Amino acid sequence: MGLAKNIKSPEQLIFHYLNVILRRWKTIALVGTVIVAGALTYCLTAPHVFESYASIMPFQQSGNGGLAGLSDLADMAKGLGLGSFTKSGPHALYPAILKSRHIQSRILKREFYTHKYGDRRPLYEIYNIKSDSPLEVEHYGLKKLAGGTDIVTDRKTNVITIQTQAEEPQLAADIANAYVEELKEFNLKLRNSRAKENREFIEERLEETKQELVKAENRLKEFRESNLRIGNSPELLMEQGRLTREVKIQEQVFLTLTKEYEIAKIDEQKSIPAVNVLDEAAPPAEKSKPQRVKIMMLAMLGGLVMGIAFAMVLEYFEDIDDKDEEYRKLILRYNNARNRIFSIATRKKETSNEPQV
Mean pLDDT (the chain) is 81
pLDDT band at 63 (very low <50, low <70, confident <90, very high): very low
Q: Is the pLDDT of residue 157 over 60?
A: yes
Give residue 15's pLDDT: 78
Between 140 and 2, where is the model more confident?
140
CB 164 within 8 A of CB 148: yes
Q: Are 271 and 69 in contact (CB under 8 A)?
A: yes
The answer to which of 148-162, 165-179, 305-319 has the lowest mean pLDDT is 305-319
Give the DSSP letter string of 248-305. Answer: HHHHHHHHHHHHHHHHHHHHHHHT---EEEEE-----SS--B--HHHHHHHHHHHHHH
Quick one: pLDDT at residue 327?
Answer: 61
Neighbours of 60 (CB within 10 A): 13
**151, pLDDT greater than 70:** yes
With bands split at pLDDT 50, 70 and 90, how would you rate the model's confidence at 199?
confident
pLDDT at 8: 54
Top pLDDT among 95 and 89 is at: 95
pLDDT reading at 307 higher than 50: yes
pLDDT score at 72: 52
Reported confidence tier of residue 83, pLDDT bands at 50, 70, 90 = low
Please give the pLDDT value at position 342: 67
pLDDT, position 65: 45
Confidence of residue 236 (pLDDT cuts 50, 70, 90): confident
Percent of the chain at pLDDT above 90?
34
More confident residue, 326 or 315: 315
User: How high is the pLDDT of residue 235?
Assistant: 86
Q: How far apart are the first and last CA of the chain?
A: 59
50-192+275-279: in CATH 2.60.120: no
Which tens digits make up the pLDDT trace of 238-273?
Answer: 888 899 999 999 999 999 999 999 988 887 776 555
Is 164 in contact with 51 (CB distance < 8 Å)? yes
Q: What is the predicted pLDDT for the residue at 229?
A: 78
Amino acid 67: pLDDT:
43
Whether residue 100 has pLDDT greater than 50: yes
Question: Nearest-CA neighbor of 113 among 105, 121, 125?
Answer: 121
Cα within 13 Å of Cα(300), Cβ side: 5
**Stretch 20-39: mean pLDDT, rounded?**
88
